[in-house]
A and B are shown apart, each in its own frame.
Chain A
Amino acid sequence: MDFITIIDNTLNQTLAYAFLALSVYISLRLIDFPDLSIEGTFPMGAAIAASIAKYFGVVELSIPAALIFGFIVGTITASLNVYLKIGKLLSGILVAIGLYSINFRIMGARANLYLTESENLFSPLRKADIKLSNFIFGNEAPTILYPVSNFILLLLFSIIVFLLYKFLNSEKGSLVRYGRSDNKFFFESIGINYKLYVILGLGIANALAALSGALVAFQSGTASTTMGFGIILVALVSLVIGEQIIKIFHKDLTDLWPIILSPVLGTFIYYIIIRLVRWINTLWQSYAGYPDPTDQIQFFNSDIRILSVIIMVVIYAVRKDKMTSLNLPERL
């Protein structure tokens, strides 16, 4: 029972954040653009979805709107780089910081936005979740379960990954897949403007980041301007964990299949780890007799950031093959 709850709850969280890791996979691994702008796109997706649901009352349009505006932000970041020759990192930072101010305005000059039940796209799903849990586990299900939500999210994720995979294998899509600035000589020699494909690729990546933000907003029922802080590290750690696991079975990380599954797999493992650490903390707290909340010897929510950093560093330290710069997926 406990095991099912853990898997079910982690999956629910995973399926929202996996889009973010997928976004980083596209921007960083495929088009070699370390895109920091998702720090702004992620809360923007949440802000747009929440605002449309709250102020315009059309909950159904919230997800498509997040996707479209995410795409636009991606094209702006990429344009700063390819046309104005601003560095990739700086382009991302500029857009992310600029979006902080814009997100505040999108949410109607507020830093936080709370969604009521009627304004939340996921409300019907939550009701169905509760009904199904009660049906299975009796009238009083011991914990919160998300069977229906997870099914719908998994379906959505599968469709998007499938479409993305098909797209990246098509003639036009392969231009996005390989549309990196270090391939520009090749692209130019076959008569292709690689800049357009960097822009398109980053647009898709940011659309997914905004989608992730929107899903998180509906899951938590709230959007805030600060929810994006450090989120890039979550996505990055998830991606790297997933890659390292898939690498056990499949050596070549430049292949699209099965590496395209590493974001979702990595995100899942990442949240399992977080859950594990929290569980250990609970054990510690009960052992120490629930210490003072300011007591330093315990796990705070803010420690998730340093935990991510440690995971990242450990992975880079213990991996067997110290990658060369040739092996692009290992470059950060």
Chain B
Amino acid sequence: MSYKLQISNIHKIFNAGEPNEVYALKNISLNFKSGELVLLTGHNGSGKSTLLNIIDGRIKQTKGEIIIDGNNIDNLKVYQRAKYIYRIFQNTLNGVIQTASIRENMALASKRNTKFKLTSKLVKKSNNALFENIVKNYNRTLSENLDKKIFTLSPGERQAVILSLLEMQKDKEPQILLADEPTASLDPEMAKKSYDAIYNLSKKGWLCLVVTHDENLINGNKHNRIIKFNKGEIVENNKTQQNIYPTWNDLYKYSNVYDLPWVSKTIHPTLKKVIDKLPISNGKALDIGCGLGQVSRYLAKVGYETTGIDISEEAIKLCNQLNDTGKIINYQTANSITFTSDNKYDLIIDFLHIHDIERKDVQKYLKNIDQLLSDKGYFIVSTFSQDDESNKYNNIRESNYVEQKINYYSKEDILNFLTDYYVVVEESALIVGNKNESYKSYILIIKKII
């Protein structure tokens, strides 16, 4: 797998050989992927800011390599690294030109990494609407006053400008954002806006490295991991698990859903065949992890009284929009582990959902299925078999979409957890994916023995 940024064996010694020699970084090696939001924490002087400065070229490392997109960038100067890196500073005075107006600052920032021409004016009328819209997101009154000079603004307003400059970079090719204490010395509202802006950028595929002491960020759940520094060494490099569920919502909200390899507009042909073969064709059906509702729609068409549940509100919104069957489908935002209903369902379908449930929860989940399924009901479950192919799938999903491991469950696992009353009626192979990537999976029809 390719990393966006690789830091290998970085050493930094300040004032080598002199009485005030400081060993700032000791053999730091880190790998980062696109779309990661990483917090760097640690005491003052622990080396985190030094690392940031080494990445963007302001400080030269004593030993070691910085690699971006597979290229060694050690020979590039700070301004040349702007091709890959955008940086925001703790001191809001540093990221802007104070004697220039907001409009001029934005015009300059919008020309980042492009050619500055002698023949065209910096301030163009054609940009006015665009600039106003961007600034409006952060400060409404400021957006009507873009000709104000930066030195006349308050620190909060200045941060609004800095975030606007950041937003102008958003639509360019995803790159690396280095943020040095972006929320320090800001009021809570502006701090939240700043962090949200960084978070949204990471959702667009940017790698965001944020140096922070802010407890609110560290205790929050938006980051992918926290790297803790102490005396120039990494003492903690954690991938947090907290953010599994929020990311689903954001995934549906911020990405083009049909680009996701597991999403299709219509029901998977193999699943369709399986449903068609069932001895029942009406009754109550439950679609767990309905996603965009393609399975639910098919069930409704066949004649089931269908309920679709998904953890993501955004997905449910999309489901309701996409319902073109003319029948009422009961879509709900719910967690499949805790979902309860007065009804017993004659058909429960878990199509490529169970692997998102962690091993510690899967028993609870299957107990819940047991509760929901009527005595004569069928449970159709489909997930990945654990082989090399699906590992590849795991990697791709992890790096590009959601920071979440796939949990592999074998046929035996599922049956064990479902108690002895269940048997597999039929098992068939399933290939999922799109034109470019496809992965092996299996599909089970499970039924109670009465």
A binds B: yes
Given known pairs A185-B89, A186-B96, A190-B82, the reply for A174 and B118 (CB within 8 Å) is: no
- B-facing mask of A89-107, CB < 8 A → 1, else 0? 0000000000000000000
Name the contact of B98 in the complex, choosing from A175, A252, A326 (C-beta under 8 A): A326
| Cβ-defined contact, B94 with A185, below 8 A | yes
- Cβ of B122 within 8 Å of any chain A Cβ, yes or no, is yes
Q: Does B272 contact A (CB under 8 A)?
A: no
Contact of A170 among B95, B104, B117, B149 (CB under 8 A): B117
Residue in A closest to B87 when the chains form the complex, CB atoms: A189
B128 to chain A, nearest CB (A): 16
Answer whether A169 and B122 are a contact pair too, CB < 8 Å, given A185-B94, A190-B108: yes
A116-B83 Cα distance, complex, nearest whole Å: 58
Say yes or no: is B425 at the interface (Cβ < 8 Å to chain A).
Answer: no
- The answer to whether B268 has its CB under 8 Å from any CB of chain A is no
Residues of chain A within 8 A (CB-CB) of B112 are: 189-191
- Asked whether B121 is an interface residue with its Cβ less than 8 Å from the other chain, the reply is yes
Question: Which has the most chain A C-beta neighbours within 10 Å: B95, B98, B111, B120?
Answer: B98
Set B95, B98, B108, B116: member contacting A328, Cβ < 8 A? B98
Residues from chain B with a CB closer than 8 A to the CB of A191 are: 79-80, 82-83, 112-113
Q: Is B113 within 8 A of A170, CB to CB?
A: no
Contact B118 A186 (CB under 8 A): no
Contact A174 B80 (CB under 8 A): no
Q: Which residue of B lies closest to A170 (CB)?
A: B118
Residues on B with C-beta less than 8 A from A175 are 116
Q: For residues 199 through 237 of chain B, which have their beta carbon under 8 Å from a beta carbon of chain A?
A: none
A178 cross-chain contacts in B, Cβ below 8 A: 97, 99-100, 104, 108
Instruction: Tell me how far the C-beta of B80 lies from the nearest C-beta in chain A, rounded to whole angstroms.
Output: 7
Q: Which residues of the other chain, A, contact B108 by a CB distance below 8 angstroms?
A: 174, 178, 186, 190
Per-residue interface assignment for chain B, residues 134 to 153, with 1 indicating a CB less than 8 Å from any chain A CB and 0 otherwise? 00000000000000010100
Enumerate chain A residues within 8 angstroms of B79, measured Cβ to Cβ: 187-188, 191-194
Indicate with 1 or 0, residue by residue over B71-110, a CB within 8 angstroms of chain A CB atoms.
0000001111011001101000011111110001100110
Query: Chain B residues with Cβ under 8 A from A302's Cβ?
Result: none
- What CA separation (Å) do A171 and B108 show in the bound complex? 8
Q: Scan A253-281; emit 1 where CB is below 8 A from any B CB, else 0.
A: 01000000000000000000000000000
Chain A residue at smallest Cβ distance from B105 = A186
Taken together as a complex, chains A and B put the C-alpha atoms of A71 and B123 apart, in Å, by 28
Contact A186 B99 (CB under 8 A): no
Residues on A with C-beta less than 8 A from B80 are: 191
A183 contacts partner chain B, Cβ-Cβ < 8 Å:
yes
Q: Are B151 and A326 in contact (CB under 8 A)?
A: yes
Chain B residues with Cβ under 8 A from A183's Cβ?
A: 97-98
CB nearest neighbor in B for A195: B79
Bound complex: CA A183 to CA B104 (Å): 14
Interface residues on chain A, size class: 20 to 34
Decide if B95 touches A190 in the complex (CB within 8 Å).
Answer: no
Taking CB atoms and an 8 Å cut-off, the chain A residues in 159-198 that contact chain B are: 167, 169-175, 178, 183, 185-194
- What band does the interface of chain B fall in when counting residues whose beta carbon is under 8 Å from A? 20 to 34
Q: Does A286 contact B (CB under 8 A)?
A: no
Give A313 to B99 CA distance when docked, in angstroms.
26
> B120 contacts A170, CB within 8 Å?
yes
CA distance A252 to B122 in the complex (A): 20
Whether, in the assembled complex, B119 has its beta carbon less than 8 Å from a beta carbon of chain A, the answer is: yes
Closest CB in chain A relative to B356 CB, distance in Å: 39
Bound-state Cα–Cα, A327 to B78, Å: 28
Q: What's the Cα separation between A178 and B98 when bound, in Å?
A: 9
Q: How many angstroms between the C-alpha atoms of A128 and B104 in the bound complex? A: 47
- Is there an interface contact between B99 and A185, defined as CB atoms closer than 8 Å? no
Q: Is the CB of A171 within 8 A of B117?
A: yes
Q: Which residues of A contact B120 (CB under 8 A)?
A: 170-171
Would you call the interface of chain B mostly helix, strand, loop, or mixed? loop
Q: Mark A77-92, 1 if CB is under 8 A from B, else 0.
A: 0000000000000000
- Contact status A172-B86, CB under 8 Å: no
Complex CA–CA separation, A190 to B119 (angstroms): 20
- Rounded to whole angstroms, the CA-CA distance of A328 and B118 in the bound complex is 26
User: Considering the chains assembled together, what is the distance between the CA atoms of A305 and B99 in angstroms?
Assistant: 32
| Pair B151/A189 contact, Cβ less than 8 Å | no
Question: How far apart are A325's CB and chain B's nearest CB, in angstroms?
Answer: 10
Q: Which residues from B are CB-within-8-Å of A192?
A: 79, 82, 116
In the docked arrangement, what's the CA distance between A193 and B104, Å?
A: 18
Taken together as a complex, chains A and B put the C-alpha atoms of A328 and B89 apart, in Å, by 21
| A254 to chain B: closest residue by CB | B99
Q: State whether A189 touches B86 (Cβ < 8 A).
A: yes
Query: Does B95 lie within 8 Å of A185, measured CB to CB?
Result: yes
* Those of B278-332 within 8 Å (CB) of chain A: none
B435 to chain A, nearest CB (A): 37
**Candidates B77, B109, B122; contact of A190 at CB < 8 Å:** B109
Considering the chains assembled together, what is the distance between the CA atoms of A254 and B104 in angstroms?
13
Per the bound structure, the CA–CA distance linking A193 and B116 in Å amounts to: 12
* CA A58 to CA B264, docked complex, whole Å: 80
Chain B CB within 10 A, most for which of A191, A252, A328, A329:
A191
For B89, what are the chain A residues with a Cβ–Cβ distance below 8 Å?
Answer: 185
**Contact among A172, A185, A254 with B118 in the assembled complex (CB-CB below 8 Å):** A172
Expressed in whole angstroms, the Cα–Cα distance for A169 and B83 within the complex equals: 25
B149 A188 Cβ-Cβ under 8 A: no
Tell me which of A167, A174, A175, A189 has the highest count of chain B C-beta atoms within 10 A of its own C-beta. Answer: A189
* Nearest B residue to A179, CB-CB: B97
Complex CA distance for A186 and B112, rounded to whole angstroms: 10
1/0 contact string of A232-265 vs chain B (CB within 8 Å): 0000000000000000000010100000000000
Give A184 to B123 CA distance when docked, in angstroms. 21
**Bound Cα distance A327, B150 (Å):** 11
A177 to chain B, nearest CB (A): 8
Q: Mark A189-210, 1 if CB is under 8 A from B, else 0.
A: 1111110000000000000000
Residue of A167, A173, A183, A327 with most partner-chain B CB within 10 A:
A183
Instruction: Tell me whether B82 and A188 are in contact (CB under 8 A).
Output: yes
Report the Cα distance A191→B89, complex, angstroms.
16
B86 to chain A, nearest CB (A): 6
Cα A326 to Cα B151 with chains together (Å): 7
* Contact status B113-A174, CB under 8 Å: no
Contact A190 B78 (CB under 8 A): no
A252 CA to B151 CA in the complex, in Å?
11
Per-residue interface assignment for chain B, residues 189 to 201, with 1 indicating a CB less than 8 Å from any chain A CB and 0 otherwise: 0000000000000
The closest CB in chain A to the CB of B57 belongs to: A188
Query: How far does the alpha carbon of A191 sit from the alpha carbon of B79 in the complex, in Å?
Result: 4
Q: List the 8 closest A-B pairs by CB distance, nearest first.
A: A191-B82, A254-B99, A190-B112, A171-B116, A185-B94, A174-B122, A191-B113, A188-B79
For the A-B complex with A185-B87, A189-B86 known, give 17 more contacts whose Cβ atoms are closer than 8 Å.
A170-B118, A171-B117, A172-B116, A174-B100, A174-B108, A178-B99, A178-B100, A188-B82, A190-B113, A191-B79, A191-B83, A192-B82, A254-B99, A254-B151, A326-B98, A327-B151, A328-B151
Jot down 20 A-B pairs with beta carbons below 8 A, ordered by A.
A169-B121, A170-B117, A171-B111, A171-B121, A172-B117, A173-B122, A174-B100, A174-B108, A175-B116, A186-B95, A186-B105, A189-B86, A189-B87, A190-B82, A190-B109, A191-B79, A192-B116, A254-B149, A326-B151, A328-B151
